């Protein structure tokens, strides 16, 4: 018997770098037919990727995944741009639902903000009487309030009601942290506990520990292949730098709270006793809406010599860049929402056996403590982070390697890809069986 046809609804997909890419490939490997409804790629730069556009590459096949791209307005670098981008995808999806002849057996909505995109999956599910699964990466309306600072009931009220409706119309809701389970089931409408599941993100298989020499060889090759001299020189500096290197990889946005680093670097620089000592270096790999602001803060604190800034890289290059450094860093802006969040880069760092430094509390601090794989300081506390960095820099290589081993072991025990995908297979089978027998009201309506 052939496996079901899965329709994935996700505003972001390849060549944008999101975990749904690997999930889709894995479903194809397992025998499913997979179609992705997505937008024209423009994240995080805010402009359409080369080769893509309103009249270019609207349909393609990638690793066996059929991709359908509907029109969007590029997000640009402003809040209004993000709003137009979000609503343009939802609006295009509305019209796509009216005209599509695609026949899928179930819908899987991968929700990074905005939640409006999930309405596309809800409508398809209702129209074709198929199960609808939601994988929520963000909580709404909490995310809207945190990012925009808007708390008016006139704005938040309609969003809240939209989220309630989505949760009611979804057969299964999967979330990325235990705290998210509590948040969803604790809403003012009753979301049955058996409907909501903690299904953590995993690290793709190319995230693995890498020998330092192997990593240096790969990064050297990356440097030689760079078309831009500036980027080539930064990668060469990474290889020649003998300081204690702390690496951050990913999006540079408001949520990441990277504003803590320039002030922390200034504290460490002032406290350095020996000017000849190589000191601490922060290696930032990524791009995003806040990059210019972040670079401005580095200049204001006079710590340009404490940072190496590397543009966004393909995900499969990240393990080599990590292995050329001594510790990996993650942080959040100060918000109760981020306390509930397990960031995807945490699993990537752990899979690569990196000792971890975090300026974060909540779920992130809990995991670091349980795994014994790093040090966490309070969100936004530059002095506490500087102290944690000094403590880790003063560790022996063996002590840091032990933290990295602990991270790798914990990742295997709690975030194993194959176990999680097997679990999702069972949810699919159960929901499809229920739908076919007509016992579920959603599928009978």
How large is the average pLDDT for residues 295-299?
A: 95
pLDDT recorded at residue 438: 62
pLDDT recorded at residue 268: 93
Biggest CA pair distance of the chain: 74
Which of 443, 360, 372 lies closest to 410 in space, CA to CA? 372
How large is the average pLDDT for residues 61-84?
A: 87
Residue 434 has pLDDT above 90, yes or no: no
pLDDT recorded at residue 439: 43
How large is the average pLDDT for residues 251-258?
A: 87
pLDDT band at 66 (very low <50, low <70, confident <90, very high): very high
CA distance 312 to 228: 14
More confident residue, 140 or 358: 358
| 195: its two tokens | 């409907």
Lowest mean pLDDT among 9-23, 51-65, 78-92, 155-169: 78-92
pLDDT tens digits for range 146-158: 777 778 888 888 8
pLDDT recorded at residue 307: 95
More confident residue, 333 or 322: 322
pLDDT band at 445 (very low <50, low <70, confident <90, very high): very low
Lowest mean pLDDT among 77-86, 196-205, 253-262, 346-355: 77-86
How large is the average pLDDT for residues 42-55?
A: 88
pLDDT band at 443 (very low <50, low <70, confident <90, very high): very low
pLDDT band at 122 (very low <50, low <70, confident <90, very high): very high
Tell me how far the alpha carbon of residue 351 is from its chain's centroid: 15
pLDDT band at 338 (very low <50, low <70, confident <90, very high): confident
CA distance 316 to 318: 6
Q: Are 359 and 377 in contact (CB under 8 A)?
A: yes
pLDDT recorded at residue 133: 97
pLDDT band at 444 (very low <50, low <70, confident <90, very high): very low
pLDDT tens digits for range 353-405: 999 999 999 999 999 999 999 999 999 999 999 999 999 999 999 999 999 99
Mean pLDDT of the chain: 91
CA dihedral 89, 93, 94, 99 (to 10 degrees): 150
| 20: its two tokens | 């749904």
Lowest mean pLDDT among 8-12, 202-206, 326-330, 346-350: 202-206
The residue with tokens 């999956």 is 121
Distant-in-sequence contacts of 158-164, Cβ < 8 A, 24+ apart: 159/115, 162/115, 162/116, 162/119, 163/115, 163/187, 164/188, 164/189
pLDDT tens digits for range 157-211: 888 999 999 999 999 999 999 999 999 998 877 788 889 999 999 999 999 999 9
How large is the average pLDDT for residues 293-320?
A: 93
pLDDT recorded at residue 265: 95
- Across 26-40, 83-97, 431-445, which has the greatest mean pLDDT? 26-40
- Report the SS3 class of residue 175: strand
Helix (H) or strand (E) holding 132: strand 132-136
Cα dist. 231→47, 309, 439 in Å? 21, 9, 59
CA distance 261 to 142: 26
pLDDT band at 442 (very low <50, low <70, confident <90, very high): very low
Q: Are 8 and 34 in contact (CB under 8 A)?
A: yes
Quick one: CA dihedral 226, 229, 232, 236, positive or negative? positive
pLDDT recorded at residue 440: 43
How large is the average pLDDT for residues 72-93?
A: 83
CA dihedral 230, 234, 237, 243 (to 10 degrees): 140
Helix (H) or strand (E) holding 200: none
- Residue 79 C-beta-side C-alpha neighbours within 13 Å: 7
pLDDT recorded at residue 407: 98
Domains of the chain: 5-202+416-444 (3.40.50.2000), 212-414 (3.40.50.2000)
Cis peptide upstream of residue 76 (ω within 30 degrees of 0)? no
pLDDT band at 36 (very low <50, low <70, confident <90, very high): very high
How large is the average pLDDT for residues 212-233?
A: 88
How large is the average pLDDT for residues 40-69?
A: 92
Quick one: CA dihedral 124, 126, 132, 138, positive or negative? positive
pLDDT recorded at residue 410: 97
Residue 232 has pLDDT above 90, yes or no: no
CA distance 87 to 70: 12
CA distance 251 to 147: 15
| Percentage of the residues of the chain whose pLDDT score is greater than 90 | 69
Q: Are 385 and 359 in contact (CB under 8 A)?
A: yes
Helix (H) or strand (E) holding 186: none
Which of 249, 245, 258, 291 lies closest to 359 in space, CA to CA? 258
Burial 150-171 (b: 16+ CB within 10 A, else e): eeeeeebeebbebbeebbebbb
More confident residue, 221 or 436: 221
């Amino acid at each position: 018997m052939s496996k079901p046809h899965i329709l994935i609804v996700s505003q972001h997909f390849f060549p944008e770098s999101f975990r749904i890419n690997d999930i889709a490939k894995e479903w194809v490997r397992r025998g499913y037919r997979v179609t992705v409804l997505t937008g024209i790629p423009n994240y995080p730069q805010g402009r359409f990727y080369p080769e893509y556009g309103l009249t270019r590459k609207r349909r393609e096949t990638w690793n066996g995944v059929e991709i359908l791209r509907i029109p969007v307005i590029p997000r640009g670098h402003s809040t209004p741009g993000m709003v137009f981008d979000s609503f343009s995808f939802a609006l295009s999806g509305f019209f796509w639902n009216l005209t599509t002849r695609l026949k899928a057996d179930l819908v899987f909505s991968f929700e990074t903000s905005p939640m409006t995109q999930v309405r596309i999956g809800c409508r398809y599910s209702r129209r074709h009487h198929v199960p609808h699964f939601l994988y929520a990466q963000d909580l709404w309306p909490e995310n809207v309030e945190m990012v925009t600072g808007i708390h008016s009931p006139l704005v938040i009220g309609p969003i809240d009601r939209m989220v309630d409706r989505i949760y009611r119309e979804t057969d299964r809701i999967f979330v990325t942290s235990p705290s998210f389970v509590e948040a969803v089931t604790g809403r003012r409408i009753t979301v049955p506990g058996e409907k909501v599941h903690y299904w953590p993100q995993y690290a793709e298989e190319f995230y693995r520990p890498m020998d330092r020499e192997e990593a240096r060889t790969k990064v050297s090759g990356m440097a030689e292949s760079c078309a831009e001299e500036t980027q080539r020189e930064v990668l060469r500096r990474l290889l020649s730098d003998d300081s204690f290197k702390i690496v951050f990889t990913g999006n540079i946005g408001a949520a990441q709270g990277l504003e803590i680093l320039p002030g922390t670097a200034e504290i460490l620089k002032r406290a350095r006793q020996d000017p000849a000592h190589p000191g601490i270096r922060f290696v930032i790999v990524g791009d995003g809406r806040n990059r210019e602001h972040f670079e401005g803060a580095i200049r204001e604190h006079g710590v340009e010599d404490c940072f190496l800034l590397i543009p966004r890289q393909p995900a499969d290059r990240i393990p080599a860049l990590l292995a050329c450094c001594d510790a990996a860093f993650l942080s959040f802006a100060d918000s109760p929402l981020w306390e509930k969040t397990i960031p995807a880069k945490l699993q990537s760092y752990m899979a690569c056996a990196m000792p971890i430094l975090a300026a974060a509390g909540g779920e992130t601090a809990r995991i670091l403590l349980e795994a014994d794989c790093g040090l966490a300081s309070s969100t936004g506390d530059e002095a506490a982070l500087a102290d944690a960095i000094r403590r880790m820099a003063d560790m022996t290589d063996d002590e840091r390697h032990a933290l990295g081993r602990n991270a790798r072991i914990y990742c295997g025990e709690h975030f194993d890809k194959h176990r999680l995908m097997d679990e999702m297979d069972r949810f699919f089978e159960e929901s499809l069986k229920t739908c076919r027998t007509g016992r579920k009201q959603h599928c009978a309506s």
